[in-house]
Amino acid sequence: MEKKVFILYFLMCFFWGLTWLFLKISLQEMPIYTGLSIRFLFAGIIFWIIYFFSKTKTKLNPKLKLVYLLFTLFNFTLCYYLTYWGTKSVFSNLGAILWSLLPLCVAGMAHFFIPNDRLNIRKSLGMIIGLLGAILLLYKGGSLGEGEVSLGIFAILVSIVLAAWPNVYLKMQNTNINSIHLNAVGMTAAGLLFLIFALFFERGYHIPLDNFNLFALFFLTVPGTVFTWGVYIWLFNHLPVTQISYTAFYPPIIATIVGWFFLGESLPFIAIIGSILIILGGFLVNYNKN
């Protein structure tokens, strides 16, 4: 891995791990649709500014249009809403751990749609181990947050399954993609959709704009969205999909440390075992000795 790629890869994982802390903080005061609309509209504007000053321009063909549509509706809209809704009830570190299941979902879908990425014994074993870990977390759901914890876990799991398909479809196209333009279009569209929902369902909500809440919004928007998503999609042009999938393993470690230190979140023993199984399963699915 080139030095530039490695540094961006590391910072992306680090910021994504911290994002869960600031998401939990923001959800204490910010309505979901309003928070998402602010996050994505501002992120979209920043991406448009970067795109207009960049040297490369994008022409969309029918296949790329479908990629844009999938990332907009699935990753940026449905997945983020479900993750926000679920994180209101579950620990922030648990949300990050559950998202470690993404490589398993990607591997399962890739088996059917990407000819040179079939499941083998090692990958199948990894999927079974990861799913066992998810079952353990569901079993201990009541002690992993407050309120509708089991429903929160289920919502995040659904969001992970939905997020897997655009990743697989993008690799199926076997073409380079302008990550800045994709994020500009997708996040602006998602932000507008969330704004419409906010105007309908969250009108009249009091939103405290104290320094703490404003900084949480800033972090979620700039390092947690613009930087992470910009680098993530850019990596598809520079790394194999297996190496990109490893990004699901490092943020949970960071999220667990900061969640414990700043929010007092701790996992019971069975949940720790389940978390280890999920990460181990993802590692087995993506491990490539070459």
- The tens digit of pLDDT for each residue in 171-212 reads 887 777 888 999 999 999 999 999 999 999 998 887 777 788
**Which of 36-50, 60-74, 207-221, 236-250 has the highest mean predicted lDDT (pLDDT)?**
36-50
Is the predicted pLDDT of residue 128 greater than 60, yes or no? yes
Is the predicted pLDDT of residue 242 greater than 80, yes or no? no
Is the predicted pLDDT of residue 78 greater than 90, yes or no? yes
Report CA-CA distances (Å) from 129 to 110, 133, 193: 18, 6, 37
**pTM of the full structure:** 0.87
Give the residue, 187 or 96, on which the prediction is more confident.
187
Range of the domain at 245: 3-286
Q: What is the average per-residue pLDDT within 37-57?
A: 92
pLDDT at 143: 65
> Could you tell me the pLDDT band of residue 1, with boundaries at 50, 70 and 90?
low
Candidates 110, 130, 115, 143; CA nearest to 242 is: 110
Mean pLDDT score across all residues of the chain: 87
pLDDT at 54: 86
In this structure, of 58-67, 116-125, 233-242, 270-279, the range with the lowest mean pLDDT score is 233-242
Give the residue, 214 or 267, on which the prediction is more confident.
214
> Could you tell me the pLDDT band of residue 239, with boundaries at 50, 70 and 90?
confident
Candidates 102, 127, 76, 124; CA nearest to 245 is: 102
**Which of 52-56, 143-147, 239-243 has the highest mean predicted lDDT (pLDDT)?**
52-56
Candidates 11, 272, 235, 1; CA nearest to 143 is: 272
Is the predicted pLDDT of residue 60 greater than 60, yes or no? yes
Dist CA 256 CA 97 (whole Å): 8
Q: What angle do CA 96, 10, 135 make, to 5 degrees?
A: 20
Count of beta carbons in the 10 Å neighbourhood of residue 114: 17
Candidates 273, 249, 289, 225; CA nearest to 23 is: 225
Give the total number of structural domains in the chain: 1
Q: What is the average per-residue pLDDT within 163-174?
A: 85
Dist CA 210 CA 32 (whole Å): 17
